[in-house]
Structure 1
Amino acid sequence: MRVAPLTLERLVQPVVEICDFSGVVPWRLTAREIDRYFADPGKRAHATARTKMNGIDGYFAFLGQRYAGEIATKENTSQMRQDRILDEAAVTADPLHLMRLSGIGESAAMRYVSAAHPEKTGLLPR
């Protein structure tokens, strides 16, 4: 699949802008960074937010189509889910957030936070 340079630039621009604002790379971009970006003054206008969100959706849809074969051939899809939850735990260290985001139980959320932040394990409520 070939994408015209202008189309690719239009897809990537909002993602790069949010990543620059947040100081993260695109594959570490979370809903939290996107929310922080749109909470910034001057970026709250409905039309601005909608346009940029459509661009972000388009970017990730493009990646999903481009790499669908590699994603589908991942041997263990549950491993992908576990990796995503662990990555989120590394970023937030908030068991309640993990429970809401991933639909996991309290003990599983605590295990993810403990795995991501072993130095904080003794500080967490049991």
Structure 2
Amino acid sequence: MESNYHSLKRRDNQLLVITHLSQLLTYITGFGGLIAPLIIWATQKEKVEDMDAHGKSILNFQLSVLIYSLISIPLIIAFGLGILTLILIAILAFVMPIINAIKVSNGELPSYPLSINFIS
């Protein structure tokens, strides 16, 4: 039954790439980098092959970035290191979706470093 169900899903690398790149909406809207991939994942995970795994990794990464950012705020006041941490988080949150979109377009598996596994 599982193999038959799996074969009903379509292969759509373009949508997977768009899902990874949709995280960059954070830099335009401030919050779209979590909302857009969540909507794509929720509506397409049953229809697109590998969307469930990609969506979970993206959401885990976005939630991790949010938590790391929230932890960095008190570090600004306490040690001043929070500013450096926020800059590093911003760079990582910008670069990793692009790298993973390229990986996906080449048929490779994405990987997000420092990602906490909230959704498995």
TM range (shorter): under 0.3
Structure 2 length normalisation: TM-score? 0.27
Answer 1 or 2: higher relative contact order, Cα 8 Å, separation at least 6: 2
Task: Decide which structure has the larger Cα Rg and report it.
Answer: 1
Structure 1 length normalisation: TM-score? 0.26
